[in-house]
Amino acid sequence: MLTTRFVNGAPNWLDVGSSDLDGAISFYSGLFGWQFQSAGPDAGGYGFFQLDGRTVAGGMQVGADQAPPAWTVYFQSADAEATAKAVEQARGTVLFQPMDVMGKGHMAVFADAAGCVFGVWQPGETKGVDVAGETGSLTWVELYTPDVAAAAAFYHAALGLETSAAPMPGGDYTCVNPGGAGDDAMFGGVVPLDAHPATTPPPHAFWLPYFEVADTDATVARAQELGGAVTVPATSVQGVGTMAHLTDPYGARFAVIRSESPQG
């Protein structure tokens, strides 16, 4: 389950890169009640989305020549340099070399062997987000990839992640947890890209963050009012909850879920 008691391999940060940061701030503030706080004049416009004074995510402006608008999920690493080497050995790509972030920690951004972008955060003064698994915060992540077995092998080699099969309607679901942490530390799943429930599956692999909400239908309606779009309508799964896939007005993908029980 996702908590802020971070262990190596678990998601401990996420941020959204947007072509219109002010517009994204307005959207997520209206959707989740987040407030935005700048990280300061030396941060290049980067800032923090907060909920009741607790940081839930980061946000930044990205130019058209840099990357398309997207959410990036970061996983805890005890040694970002060692993780970068492991990524390359597993046939991934280092997009941004490990770097110190104003003494708060070290970050790096990679692409896995299928081209899916993800990052690592090596904690320093900042351990990670302040809240997870609560309404308005990150509660689950899902990897959509063309080859589940290959992805499982890559993330095991790069981050030490372990996978297991859970029976679900329609077939087994591949769950993910940090190595050696057991099912109680499960934080996400891996889904074949061609099994994506959208009418038109996305063209490339990606990590999808899920945010916990009090009412999925109301959140979907509000997202549309704010200019977002629905890619997968609200769907209920017994024993899990009611979820929907959305994009913000600039194309960044995310999902929302009303879990049947905390953490689903």
Give the model confidence (pLDDT) of 95-115 as tens digits.
999 999 999 999 999 999 999
Q: Name residue, tokens 């060692």.
A: 82
The predicted pLDDT at position 1 comes to 67
Give the global pTM. 0.95
Question: What number is the average pLDDT over the span 117-124?
Answer: 97
CATH code at position 245: 3.10.180.10
Q: How many domains does the chain have?
A: 1
Average pLDDT (109-135) is 97
What is the extent of the structural domain holding 229? 1-264
At residue 163's C-alpha, the angle toward residues 160 and 164, to 5°, is 150
122 Cα distance to chain centroid: 16
The Cα angle at residue 24 between residues 21 and 25, in degrees rounded to 5: 85
b/e 212-232 (16+ beta carbons within 10 angstroms → b): bbeebeebbebbeebebeebe
Closest CA to 235 of 248, 208, 216: 216
Q: What is the mean pLDDT of residues 189-200?
A: 84
Tokens of 164: 């297991």
Report CA-CA distances (Å) from 22 to 43, 61, 141, 225.
16, 9, 25, 17
Residue with tokens 């372990």: 162
d(CA 151, CA 76): 18
Residue range 3-47, pLDDT digits in tens: 888 999 999 999 999 999 999 999 999 999 999 999 888 888 899
Distance from C-alpha of 80 to C-alpha of 78, rounded to nearest angstrom: 7
